[in-house]
């Protein structure tokens, strides 16, 4: 089963709502580059709902019906109105245009081919207002983690009554990882295994990614505290870019 079909366990790990550091980063970006904001691949709304609650003019979409249903349920529980719809990052459509489009977490990394990536950048560019920006968040790869023994489980952490371990297989030729999360429920002894695939981006890959798809990088942060990206030390790529003038 895919990780994105089990919203309860997904939110157990990622949190039903963004932590303060994550929220503060996206709130700052929304205020700086807004006012009209799109959360592309919004998932269960862990960023979208707090932004809407804070008065940001934000809407979102996701490819997963389960994720959207959880988003709408969580928003209703907080008495927050959200505008969300079912759509695919690779070719989404809206009559609205946006000042900031962001793809949070590792959602962009689930685009596994060059064709999928180009198919995502095209509607992003189409749906940006003049002087609009795109913000994409990705993990900064760790070679020791990528090259670990494929069958060896690593401890991720304890989340409520669940112990989470993972194993992962890295395909260096295609820079892709296949990861399985194993949730062991301590009270019952039952285990649930959920999978996801991701494409890994090193610094050179990131610069090529935006340039080849018609965008100019304006800022490249390595953490939510706005620290500049450092290839050795940063845990993330947080890239803000605008369309090339002739792109």
The whole-number mean pLDDT for each consecutive block of 10 residues of the chain, a chain of 247 residues, reads: 92 95 98 98 98 98 97 97 97 97 96 96 98 97 90 94 97 95 97 97 95 97 97 96 83
Query: Domain residue spans in the chain?
Result: 3-140+202-243, 143-199
Measured over the CA atoms of residue 64, residue 13, residue 152 and residue 172, the dihedral's sign is: positive
Q: What is the pLDDT of residue 26?
A: 98
233: left (phi over 0), alpha (psi -120 to 50) or beta: alpha
From CA 222, how far away is CA 234, in angstroms rounded?
5
This prediction's pTM: 0.96
Contacts of 122 (CB under 8 A, 6+ apart): 91
Provide the CATH number for the domain formed by 143-199 in this structure: 2.20.25
Class of domain 3-140+202-243: alpha beta
Which residue do the tokens 């009270």 mark?
Answer: 187
Q: Which is it for strands 98-103 and 128-139: parallel, antiparallel or unpaired?
A: parallel
Q: How many CB atoms lie within 10 A of CB 184?
A: 16
Selection from 200, 201, 181 nearest residue 191 by Cα: 181
Q: At what angle do helices 65-77 and 7-14 cross, to 10 degrees?
A: 60
Burial (CB < 10 A; 0-12, 13-18, 19+), residue 122, is middle
From CA 105, how far away is CA 140, in angstroms rounded?
12
Selection from 226, 238, 242 nearest residue 24 by Cα: 226
From CA 147, how far away is CA 56, in angstroms rounded?
41
Q: What is the pLDDT of residue 1?
A: 83
């Amino acid at each position: 089963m895919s990780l994105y079909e089990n919203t309860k366990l997904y939110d157990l790990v990622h949190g039903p709502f963004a932590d303060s550091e994550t929220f503060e980063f996206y709130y700052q970006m929304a205020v700086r580059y807004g006012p009209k904001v799109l959360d592309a691949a919004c998932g269960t709304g862990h960023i979208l709902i707090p932004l809407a609650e804070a008065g940001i003019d934000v809407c979102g979409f996701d490819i997963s019906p389960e994720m959207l249903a959880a988003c709408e349920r969580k928003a209703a529980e907080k008495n927050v109105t959200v505008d969300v719809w079912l759509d695919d990052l690779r070719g989404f459509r809206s009559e609205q245009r946006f000042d900031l489009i962001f793809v949070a977490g590792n959602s962009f990394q689930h685009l596994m081919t060059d064709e999928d990536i180009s198919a995502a950048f095209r509607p992003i560019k189409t749906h940006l207002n003049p002087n609009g920006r795109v913000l994409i968040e990705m993990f900064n790869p760790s070679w020791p983690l990528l090259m670990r023994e494929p069958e060896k489980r690593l401890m991720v952490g304890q989340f409520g009554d669940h112990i989470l371990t993972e194993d992962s297989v890295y395909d260096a030729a295609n820079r892709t990882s296949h990861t399985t999360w194993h949730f062991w429920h301590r009270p019952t002894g039952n285990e649930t295994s959920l999978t996801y695939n991701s494409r890994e981006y090193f610094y050179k890959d990131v610069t090529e990614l935006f340039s080849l798809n018609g965008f100019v990088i304006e800022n490249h942060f390595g953490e939510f505290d706005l620290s500049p990206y450092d290839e050795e030390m940063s845990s993330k790529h947080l890239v803000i870019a605008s369309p090339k003038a002739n792109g």
